[in-house]
Amino acid sequence: MKHPLLTNPRMLLLYGLFWMLVASATALIQWNYYNMPAEHAFLIAYVQFLLWAVLALNIWYVVKYNTIGTNSWLRLILFHLIAATIIILIWVYITNIVVALIMPSLNEMMTAGVPSRFFSGYLFYVFYVFFFMAIIYYQNFKEKVKREAELKSLIREAELHALKSQINPHFLFNSLNSISSLTISDPVKAQEMVINLSSLMRYSLKHGQNEKVTFGTEIENNKLYLAIEKVRFGSKLLPLFRIDENCYKSVLPNMILQPIFENAIKYGVYEATEPVEIITEASCDGEFLEIKVSNAYDPGVRSKKGEGIGLRNIRERLQIIYGNPALLKIKDTHKVFSVILTIPQK
C-alpha cells in the first residue's frame, strides 16, 4: 500500500497549501492579537508548521505497519507514544535551531515555548493517526470491493461456460443420432449433414470466447443448424425469416438462439404429420432487439410439460449477463408456441 500523499502530486500540493494556510493564520493571530512583531510571528509559524508537515508524513508508515490486528491495544498505544515522542523531539529541536540561526534573539522565546509545542505535537500526532487510519480503511475497502468484483466476474464467466457446455453436447448428441440413422437409409443426406455439422461446430469453437456477436452472425449460424435438421425432417420443416434489415448489426449473446430452434423442432416438427413453419421475426429500435420464434404444434400430442434444458439455460444466461431473466417470454395459444427474446442494446 503506497503512501497516499507522496504518490499523489495533487494531494501533496493540497497538503502543502493547507499547512501554509495554517502557518499564515497562526502568524496573523500572533501579530494582531498578541502584538508579536510580524517578522517574528511569520518566521516561527512557517518554520514550525512546515517542518511538522514534512516530519508528519512519516506517521503513515507507523500506522501502516502497526495495527490492532498485529499488536495488542497496550502495545499499540505504547508504540505510538514512543513514535510520537521521537517525532516531536526532532520537530522541537530542529525548529529551535533553525529559528535561532535566523534570529538569535528569539532563542529564549523558543526555549520557553517548548512545553506548549510538545502538547500541540501530541495533538497533531493523534489527528494524523486517525487520518491515516481512515485512509487505510478506505483503501482496504476499495481493494475488497475490487477483489469481490473480480471474483464475481470469474464466477459469472464460469457459469456461462458451464451453461454453454450443456448446450453444445446436447445438440451434438442429437445431430450424431440423426447422421447415424441416415448413413444406411440415405448416405448422401448423411454426408451433407456431416458437412453442415462441421461448419456449425467450427462456428461454435470460433466464437466460444466471445460472449456477444452480431445478430446477423448468429442468425446465419442458426440457418446452418436448420439446414442440418432440414436434411433430417425434409419437407416437414419450413423455416421462415421476417427480419428488419436494421437488426443485423445488433448484438446478442452467442449461441442463444439455437436452443429455441431446438425446442421448436422437438415439440413442433418432430411429432407433426404435416409441414410445420418455424417463423423467426426480429425488430429493433436502437435500445432493444426483439426476436420472436414461433411454431405451430398439435395440442393433442402429449409432450413433456415445462421448459427444457435449452430454455432454462437461456433464462440463466440472461440473468447472468443482463441481470434480468424476464427478457425471455413464452406465449402459448395451445396451437402456436412462441418464444420472445428482448435483448438490450445499451
Domain boundaries along the sequence of the chain: 9-147, 234-344
Counting as low any pLDDT under 50, the low residues of the chain are 209-210, 304-306
Measured between alpha carbons, how far is 72 from 272 in angstroms, rounded to an integer? 78
pLDDT of residue 307: 54
Measured between alpha carbons, how far is 145 from 141 in angstroms, rounded to an integer? 6
pLDDT of residue 158: 56
HSE-CB for 91 with a 13 A CA cutoff:
32
Please determine, looking at this structure, whether the domain spanning 234-344 carries the CATH number 3.40.50.1820. Answer: no
pLDDT of residue 1: 66
Cβ atoms of 243 and 219 within 8 Å: the answer is yes
**pLDDT tens digits along 263-312:** 888 888 887 888 999 999 999 988 899 999 999 887 776 554 445 677 88
Find where cell 496573523 sits.
28
Find where cell 517548548 sits.
114
Alpha-carbon torsion 45, 48, 50, 53, what sign? negative
Find where cell 417470454 sits.
329
Tell how strand 328-332 and strand 276-284 pair up: unpaired
Tell how strand 237-243 and strand 212-214 pair up: unpaired
Give how far the C-alpha of residue 215 lies from the chain's centroid of Cα atoms, to the nearest Å: 25
**pLDDT tens digits along 153-168:** 656 665 555 555 555 5
pLDDT of residue 228: 81
Asked whether the whole model's pTM tops 0.85, one would answer: no
How many C-beta atoms surround the C-beta of residue 1 within 10 A?
Answer: 11
pLDDT of residue 209: 45
How many C-beta atoms surround the C-beta of residue 250 within 10 A?
Answer: 21
Measured between alpha carbons, how far is 304 from 186 in angstroms, rounded to an integer? 30
How many C-beta atoms surround the C-beta of residue 83 within 10 A?
Answer: 18
DSSP class of 304:
-
Residues 6+ apart with CB under 8 A from 146: none
User: Nearest CA to 178 among 140, 132, 233, 226?
Assistant: 233
Measured between alpha carbons, how far is 14 from 21 in angstroms, rounded to an integer? 10
User: Nearest CA to 117 among 57, 52, 53?
Assistant: 52
pLDDT of residue 154: 57
Angle between helices 114-185 and 38-55 (to 10 degrees): 40
Which cell numbers in the block locate residue 274? Answer: 404435416
Tell how strand 237-243 and strand 276-284 pair up: parallel
User: Nearest CA to 321 among 254, 260, 258?
Assistant: 254
DSSP class of 214:
E
